Amino acid sequence: MAIPLKIEPVDATFGAVVTGFRIPEIDDATFQALYDAWLEYALLIFPEQNLTRAEQIAFAKRFGPLEFEMTAISNVKEDGTLRLEKDNDDRMKILKGNMGWHCDSTYMPVQAKGAVFCAEEVPTIGGHTGFADMRAAYDALDQATRTKVETLSAYHSLHYSQSKLGHDTSKEKADGEYSGYGFHSGPVPLRPLVKVHPETGRKSLLIGRHAHHIPGMDKAESERFLEGLVVFACQRPRTWHHDWHPGDALLWDNRCLLHQATPWDMTQRRIMWHSRIAGDPVSEAALN
């Protein structure tokens, strides 16, 4: 018998807080109700679940195979010391890059399906995670723009988005700085600006900081158009920012939401754990 879920929508076009249960204890019937709520709201917030790493991975795997089981998103080094903002090393550039609106893994051959994200330590001010509803953004376009975007595609590259922050992503660098996951040397994925959700059928904009170079436009025109779409799309009531507490868990649908980190005082520790759900190779593959 399914556990009754207490679902309270947040003040946006998407998203809900879900309480009344412990994630590791949900049975199959409850999980199906949770999955249906995820498809409807795209972002589910589970306050103070305090999942272990194994529990987080197990929960993420219920949504499908994982692109990767877990990685730390943090300004704390493995030895426990803080990564200093003034040093501006490549890992710091990754953290700062994450502050731009984006979808996960659009720069990979197969875009991610979603993610489970949990907080271990959070700063006292800032360090929120923002989300933006690209379904509502598509619906809000004027007819002329909607007709235009239906015909367009853009390339997606982490090399491109990080280079705008002065990040040299070359793997041949002699200094040994970070140039890891996502900096592949294969074909640059080409994706349509309008994505049809494979499970709900709803259309959404597929944009964000990794998108660039719309075929048929020159570089400057393409940048202006894509940046204008992000500015238009990422406005209230289509955005919502989560103010973290230790132990919170979030689940989002990467097929219809953008997300971003927000700045914080990096003399304070922030340790987050990210489990990425792999996309369906049929519905999430790049056009090329």
pLDDT at 238: 98
pLDDT at 170: 76
53 SS3 class: helix
Backbone angles phi, psi at 246, to 5 degrees: -55, 135
- Report the run of H or E that residue 260 belongs to, with start and end: strand 257-261
Q: Which CATH number fits domain 6-277: 3.20.20.140, 3.90.1200.10, 3.60.130.10, 1.20.1630.10?
A: 3.60.130.10
**Nearest to 82, CA basis, from 252, 270, 243, 242:** 270
Token readout for 89 is 């090393």
Query: Do the Cβ atoms of 272 and 67 come closer than 8 Å?
Result: no
Per DSSP, the residues of 131-196 read: EEEHHHHHHHS-HHHHHHHTT-EEEE-HHHHHHTTT----TT-TT-----TT---SPPPEEESEEE
- Print the SS3 string covering 86-141: HHCCHHHHHHHHCCCCECCCCCCCECCCEEEEEEEECCCCECCEEEEEHHHHHHHC
pTM of the model: 0.95
**Nearest to 286, CA basis, from 157, 134, 94:** 157
Residue 226 one-letter amino acid:
L
pLDDT at 174: 43
Residue 50 one-letter amino acid:
N
Token readout for 58 is 């197990």
Rg of the chain in Å (alpha carbons): 19
Cα separations in angstroms, 176 against 90, 94, 233 = 10, 15, 38
pLDDT at 166: 87
Residues of the chain where predicted confidence (pLDDT) is lower than 70: 1, 171-180
Q: Tell me: the pLDDT tens digits for 29-48?
A: 999 999 999 999 999 999 99
CA–CA gap between residue 16 and residue 82 (Å, rounded): 33
pLDDT at 86: 86
> Quick one: what percent of the chain has pLDDT higher than 90?
88
Structural domain boundaries of the chain?
A: 6-277
55 SS3 class: helix
